[in-house]
């Protein structure tokens, strides 16, 4: 009884402290998961490099190289978006009159005045809160990036010991342990490579539609479309649909119809097709697992949910299959 008491007390302490630590680590979750993703991508090249030189020097080279190749592209991407936003131009005079007509129709049909003092005050307060959240997001991004680089160094340096320790904790047979670790590595690697690749392809495809329709700032729209392709279900429509509505407001129905047709028939269908091909080629998982995984993962993990959400769904199905093979099939055979 004393041994059981200590055993279950220890389990309760581990679970309680684990929950506490997880809650405290929530602000840094993107950095932690980013480090895990980078580790799974770089573990094999790092081990090969360690065989040719001093192991610690190899880890330093991989960490510094990763930091440079992450910071420079992200900085250039952010600079490109900011420069495009500062130079953005819309035909405001053409928008004002149709917008007034729409506001008048809404007031006549519903009695709701969009331009009332309370509505404008609410809009101003929301705009200020959005600006504040953007500034907070920039600060959180920098902090999480530093966390990811710092953790990556220690994970690469102690990678083999860390994997061996985790393997001893997993409550599976040796065969199932290898299957679980292999599944984790395949899915994380496929999403970490496939999602940015899909975003780049979608940005290039959408750029053709924006140039064809004569959209304002087509390169900015293409970059935002690439980023929006990460978001499940709605995806790229978050960008090309508002631009099509802008064309409708200024009375340019031809370009509006061109953009709606191009976005709905080409951009959206290419998104589904390319996503399906990449997932099948790189991880051989069903596209629905990716969609449901991203929907479930983003509220839990934030941006990194696009990688670890599908992983959770895949592991759930894998554990379910392990349980079925281990217990249910044996029992049916015995009967």
* Most confident region among 11-20, 93-102, 197-206 by mean pLDDT: 11-20
Report if residue 295 sits inside a domain.
Answer: yes
The residue with greater pLDDT, 87 or 194, is 194
- Tens of pLDDT, residue by residue over 40-81, are 888 888 888 888 888 888 889 988 888 887 766 766 666 666
Distance CA 173, CA 32 (A): 28
Query: pLDDT-derived band of residue 335, with 50, 70 and 90 as boundaries?
Result: very low
152 and 211 fall within a common domain = no
In this structure, are 312 and 218 located in the same domain?
yes
Q: Is 113 inside any structural domain?
A: no
- Confidence at 16, pLDDT banded by 50, 70, 90: very high
Does 205 or 133 have the greater pLDDT score?
A: 205
Out of 10-19, 30-39, 84-93, 294-303, give the one with best mean pLDDT: 10-19
Does the pLDDT value for residue 32 go beyond 70?
Answer: yes
Can you give the C-alpha Rg of the chain in angstroms?
A: 25
How many domains are there within the chain? 2
219: Cβ–Cβ under 8 A, 6 or more apart, which residues?
Answer: 84, 207
Shared domain check, 186 and 46: no
The enclosing H or E element of 298 equals helix 287-301
Residues 163 and 286 reside in one and the same domain: no
Looking at residue 289, its pLDDT comes to 77
Of residues 275 and 92, the one with the higher pLDDT is: 275
> What does the block give as tokens for 10?
């220890």
Confidence band for 109, pLDDT divided at 50, 70 and 90: low
pLDDT bucket at 17, cuts 50 / 70 / 90: very high
The answer to whether residues 306 and 231 touch, using CB atoms and an 8 Å cutoff, is no
pLDDT at 99: 61
Question: What mean pLDDT, rounded, does the chain reach?
Answer: 77
Q: Are residues 200 and 325 in the same domain?
A: yes
Q: Give the C-alpha separation, 112 to 288, whole Å.
A: 41
- The answer to the question of residue 251 being in a domain is yes
Q: Are residues 289 and 315 in the same domain?
A: yes
183 and 316, same domain (yes or no): yes
Q: At 250, is the secondary structure helix, strand, or coil?
A: coil
- Above pLDDT 70, what percent of the chain? 75
Last residue of a domain, one of 151, 169, 187: 169
300 and 152, same structural domain? Answer: no
Q: Which of 153, 169, 185 is the last residue before a domain boundary? A: 169
- Tokens 């992200």, residue located: 74
Same domain flag for 265 and 306: yes
- Residue scoring higher pLDDT (47 or 125): 47
User: What is the mean pLDDT of the segment spanning 296-317?
Assistant: 80
In this structure, is residue 131 part of a structural domain?
no
Q: Mark whether 184 and 66 lie in a shared domain.
A: no
Q: Hey, is 309 helix, strand or coil?
A: helix
Do 162 and 43 lie in a common domain? yes
pLDDT at 290: 74
pLDDT for residue 96: 58
Residue 42: inside a domain:
yes
- pLDDT of res. 201: 87
Does residue 193 belong to any structural domain of this protein? yes
- pLDDT at residue 334, as a whole number: 42
255 in the same domain as 145: no
Q: For residue range 214-257, list pLDDT tens digits in order.
A: 887 788 788 888 888 877 667 788 888 888 887 887 777 888 88
| pLDDT number for residue 103 | 64
Q: In this structure, is residue 115 part of a structural domain? A: no
In order of 43, 206, 332, the CA distances from 275 in angstroms are: 26, 15, 39
Q: Which structural domain, as residue segments, surrounds residue 48?
A: 26-72+141-169
Q: Does the structure show a pLDDT above 80 at 147?
A: yes
Cα gap 244→253, rounded to integer Å: 9
Per-residue burial over 283-302, b = 16 or more CB atoms within 10 Å of its CB, e = otherwise: bebbeebbbbbbebbbeebb
Query: Which of 131, 153, 169 is a domain's end point?
Result: 169
- Report yes or no on 280 lying in a domain: yes
**Cβ distance 311 to 293 under 8 Å?**
yes
């Amino acid at each position: 009884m004393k041994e059981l008491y200590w055993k279950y007390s220890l389990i309760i302490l581990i679970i309680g402290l684990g929950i506490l630590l997880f809650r405290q680590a929530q602000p840094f979750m993107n950095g932690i998961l980013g480090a895990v993703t980078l580790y799974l991508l770089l573990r094999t090249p790092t081990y090969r490099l360690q065989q040719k030189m001093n192991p610690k020097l190899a880890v330093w080279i991989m960490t510094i190289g990763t930091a440079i190749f992450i910071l420079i592209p992200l900085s250039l991407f952010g600079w490109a978006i900011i420069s495009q936003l500062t130079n953005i131009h819309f035909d405001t005079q053409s928008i004002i009159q149709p917008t007034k007509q729409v506001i008048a129709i809404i007031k006549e049909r519903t009695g709701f005045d969009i331009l009332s003092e309370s509505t404008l005050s609410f809009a101003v307060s929301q705009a200020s809160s959005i600006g504040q959240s953007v500034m907070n997001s920039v600060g959180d991004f920098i902090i999480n990036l530093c966390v990811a680089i710092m953790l990556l160094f220690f994970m690469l340096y102690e990678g083999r010991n860390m994997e061996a320790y985790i393997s001893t904790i997993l409550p599976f047979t040796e065969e199932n342990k290898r299957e679980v670790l292999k599944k984790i590595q395949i899915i994380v690697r496929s999403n970490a490579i496939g999602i940015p690749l899909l975003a780049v392809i979608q940005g290039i495809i959408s750029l053709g539609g924006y140039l064809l329709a004569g959209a304002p700032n087509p390169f900015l729209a293409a970059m935002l479309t690439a980023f929006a392709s990460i978001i499940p279900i709605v995806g790229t429509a978050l960008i090309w649909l508002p631009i099509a509505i802008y064309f409708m407001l200024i009375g340019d129905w031809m370009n509006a119809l061109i953009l709606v047709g191009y976005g709905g028939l080409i951009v959206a269908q290419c998104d589904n097709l390319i996503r399906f091909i990449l997932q099948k080629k790189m991880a051989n998982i069903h596209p629905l697992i990716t969609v449901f995984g991203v929907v479930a993962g983003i509220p839990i993990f934030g941006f990194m949910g696009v990688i670890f959400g599908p992983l959770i769904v895949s592991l759930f199905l894998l554990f379910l299959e392990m349980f079925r093979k281990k217990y249910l099939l044996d029992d049916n055979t015995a009967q």
